[in-house]
Amino acid sequence: MYDILWNAASFIVALGLLITAHEYGHFYIARRCGVKVERFSVGFGKPIWRRVGQDGTEYVIAMIPLGGYVKMLDERVDDVPAALQSQAFNRKNVWQRIAIVAAGPVANFIFAVFALYIMYLIGVPSLKPVINATHENSAASVITVTEPMQILAVSGQKVRNWEEVNLALVGHIGDDSLSLTLAPLARLEGQSGGERTYTLDTRNWRFDPEKESPISTLGLGMLRPQVLPLVGAVTPGSAADEAGIKAGDEIVGIDGVRYGGWEWFVTTIQSSANKPLQVTIKRGGEQKQLTATPKLGKDAHGKDVGLIGITPQASELPETMRIQLKYGVLDSLAVAADKTWQLSVVSVKMIGKLFTGDVSVKNLSGPISIAQGAGNSANYGLVYFLGFLALISVNLGIINLLPLPVLDGGHLLYYFVEVITGKPVPEKVQEIGFRFGAALLLMLMSIALFNDFARL
């Protein structure tokens, strides 16, 4: 219950910030163009807070936090007194109307830059993208790894951590090939040279972004901390807790079979739901046998498995593997702008590949998935929540620029037709377009919601 409330609260905060930024973009440029704004609303439905400013605009926070709007004086919607007609939106020239409509998505991109700017000022703790192996019969098997190697670039795009590698790889879904530039970690730490670029054949590279990592499915073996045969933590009320297993215990074996690594341990536990197991542990130099019965639960993919409630200890990675992505006042702005551009490019590519079929519609996410993402990122801390806000803000800006008549992009399409033809698009044509756009948008939202419920 706590997780649901936390996710919901994080979602409302995130959406409120993004909607406010988007609508303020419309509001600010409308006012600069001399349009009278009657209402600035964050949310829909019944107002829970309202105030009328000295400018005559009614500012509202409404009950349903799933959108917002800026109501401008418009003769196409209401009767406008003759004295105020010059302040009506429809009386402005086409370039002013384009500026007002485009300002919403532009504000989302500016907000993304701002969020990332703050994030890089604070600093983002990260790990260098280092591999120590490649998987056989994978796209990455063309790379021979004899020592830890750091990924420096993906298809010419520089990367600094695993998050950036992941983002760059996702943009190549459906492509025939991609390239990786690597160099031995030891040379990067004290020597120069050794860089080499490999071209990977990705024609047969397929994976589910919701369940699989592009890094592992490509065949890259990440250098990770070594999992030790020591209990790091025990979940209260779990099978391990009930059996008397404690943090710090060394796992010796199960049912007389000696410990064969963490993967072996997990496989044994998962295949033994509701089956008593004799777990041999060492505590204070003394071996003990404890009976633990894994409880039936579900793994990350929703499959029924046995769960015992143990988190292992792991060895520490060398400090040279850790980096802090932190920049100065001016450098942070440049890095934030570049990151926003990268996010925008990948988002546009993914939308294009959605229409070409390279990416399945099953990967569309709705409000439930976004709420979970908001809650998870907020759990990790402010810098990660800021990164999440930037990603969603970029996506919101791009989606609103799609040429669907119910979105800002649809309005812009009509206005650019007006620029070319010299006259407005007929009202009947616009109405037909709005109905078509609403139907298509409703269909996409329905698919996204269905996907959300399917993932629960």
Structure confidence at residue 349 (pLDDT): 85
User: Catalytic annotation on 189?
Assistant: no
CB-CB contact of 26 with 74 (8 Å): no
Other CB atoms within 10 Å distance of the CB of residue 431: 11
Per residue in 30-58, pLDDT (tens digit) is: 999 999 999 999 988 888 899 998 888 99
- Alpha-carbon gap, residue 456 to 446, rounded angstroms: 16
For residue range 323-382, what is the model confidence (pLDDT) as tens digits? 888 999 999 999 999 999 999 988 888 888 777 766 666 666 666 777 777 777 877 788
The pLDDT confidence band at residue 455, using thresholds 50, 70 and 90, is: low
Query: Which residue would you say has higher pLDDT here, 194 or 256?
Result: 256
Q: How far apart are the first and last CA of the chain?
A: 14
Q: Which of 255, 252, 257, 234 is nearest to 244 (CA)?
A: 234
Average pLDDT, integer, range 101-110: 95
Task: From residue 110, give the alpha-carbon distance in Å to each of 14, 21, 42, 97, 374.
Answer: 15, 9, 19, 20, 20
**Above 90 in pLDDT, residue 439?**
no
List residues bridging with 60 in a β-sheet.
41, 50
The token duo for 456 is: 């629960």
The Cα 17–Cα 111 span in angstroms is 9
What is the set of domains in the chain, with CATH numbers?
125-224+317-325 (2.30.42.10), 227-314 (2.30.42.10)
pLDDT, residue 189, reads 56
Structure tokens belonging to residue 367: 């409000």
DSSP symbol at 215: H
Q: Contact at 8 Å (CB) between 401 and 408?
A: yes
What is the residue whose two structure tokens read 């990268």?
A: 342
Q: What is the pTM of this model?
A: 0.79
- Whole-number pLDDT of residue 173: 84
Q: Which of 272, 255, 265 is nearest to 227 (CA)?
A: 265
> Which tens digits make up the pLDDT trace of 200-212?
998 888 777 666 7
Query: Does the pLDDT value for residue 98 go beyond 90?
Result: yes
Residue 327 has a CB neighbour count (10 Å cut-off) of 16
Strand (E) or helix (H) holding 13: helix 2-32
Cα separation, 190 vs 206, whole angstroms: 38
Query: What's the rounded mean pLDDT across residues 69-95?
Result: 88
Query: Taking a C-beta distance cutoff of 8 angstroms, is the pair 238, 308 a contact?
Result: yes
In 3D space, the residue among 337, 441, 426, 432 whose CA is nearest the CA of residue 390 turns out to be 337
| Residue whose C-alpha is closest to residue 118's, from 394, 329, 324, 323 | 329
Mean pLDDT of 307-313: 91
Q: Which residue has the tokens 């071209």?
A: 199
Catalytic, out of 23, 75, 136, 316: 23
One DSSP character per residue, 321-352 reads GEEEE---HHHHHHHHHHHHHHHHHHHHHHHH
- What residue type is 303 in one-letter code? K
Average pLDDT of the chain? Answer: 86
Are 88 and 75 contacting, i.e. CB atoms less than 8 angstroms apart? yes
What are the tens digits of pLDDT across the range 401-429? 988 888 899 899 999 998 999 888 888 88
